[in-house]
C-alpha cells in the first residue's frame, strides 16, 4: 500500500519477487562479509601480537637492570601465550569459514531459502 500511495504501482506478485530478491541478496552479502572479515580480523590480531612481541624483545635488549629485564620477559611470555591461543583457534576459524562457504554455495544454487 505504501508503494501505491507513493505512485509506484505493481502487482502483489512483482512486489513479492522484489522482496525475495532483496532479502536473499542481503543474506548473501552478509555471509560473504562474515566469511571474509572473520579471517581478516584474525590476521590483524595476530599481526598486532607479533608486533608487540617484537617491541618487547627490543625493550629487553635495552633493559638496565635484571628486574626490569625479568618484568619484560614476563610480559613477553604473556604475549606469546596470546599468540598461541590465536594459533590454536585457527582450525576452528577455518571450519567456520568452510561452513560459511558451503552456505553461500548452497544459496547460489538456490538450495537455501531465506524467509
State the residue for C-alpha cell 507513493.
6
| Residue 115: inside a domain | no
Residue 114 lies in a domain: no
Please spell the DSSP secondary structure of 81-101, one letter per residue. HHHHHHHHTHHHHHHHHHHHH
Residue 3 domain flag? no
Other Cβ atoms closer than 10 A to 100? 19
pLDDT tens digits, 73-110 = 998 898 888 888 877 776 766 676 677 677 667 666 65
Grid cell 532483496 is found at 22
CB distance 44 to 109 below 8 Å: no
Query: Into how many domains does the chain fold?
Result: 1
Q: What domain range includes position 24?
A: 11-109
pTM of the complete model: 0.50
72 within 8 A of 55, measured Cβ to Cβ: no
Residue 35 near residue 58 (C-beta atoms within 8 A): no
Q: Is residue 39 part of a domain?
A: yes
| pLDDT band at 8; cut points 50, 70, 90 | confident
- Whether residue 5 lies inside any domain: the answer is no
Is 46 contained in some domain? yes
Asked if residue 1 belongs to a domain, the reply is: no
In a domain, 80, yes or no: yes
The label of the residue with cell 633493559 reads: 63
Residue 85's pLDDT is 81
The model's pLDDT over 37-69, given as tens digits with 9 standing for 90+, comes to 777 777 888 888 889 989 989 888 988 999 999
Distance CA 106, CA 44 (A): 29
Amino acid at each position: 500500500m505504501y508503494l501505491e500511495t507513493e505512485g509506484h504501482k505493481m502487482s502483489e506478485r512483482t512486489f513479492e519477487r522484489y522482496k525475495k530478491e532483496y532479502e536473499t541478496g542481503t543474506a548473501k552479502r552478509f555471509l560473504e562479509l562474515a566469511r571474509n572479515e572473520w579471517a581478516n580480523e584474525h590476521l590483524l590480531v595476530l599481526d598486532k601480537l607479533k608486533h608487540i612481541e617484537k617491541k618487547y624483545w627490543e625493550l629487553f635488549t635495552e633493559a638496565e637492570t635484571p628486574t626490569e629485564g625479568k618484568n619484560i620477559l614476563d610480559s613477553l611470555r604473556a604475549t606469546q601465550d596470546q599468540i598461541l591461543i590465536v594459533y590454536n583457534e585457527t582450525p576452528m576459524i577455518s571450519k567456520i569459514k568452510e561452513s560459511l562457504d558451503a552456505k553461500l554455495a548452497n544459496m547460489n544454487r538456490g538450495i537455501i531459502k531465506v524467509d
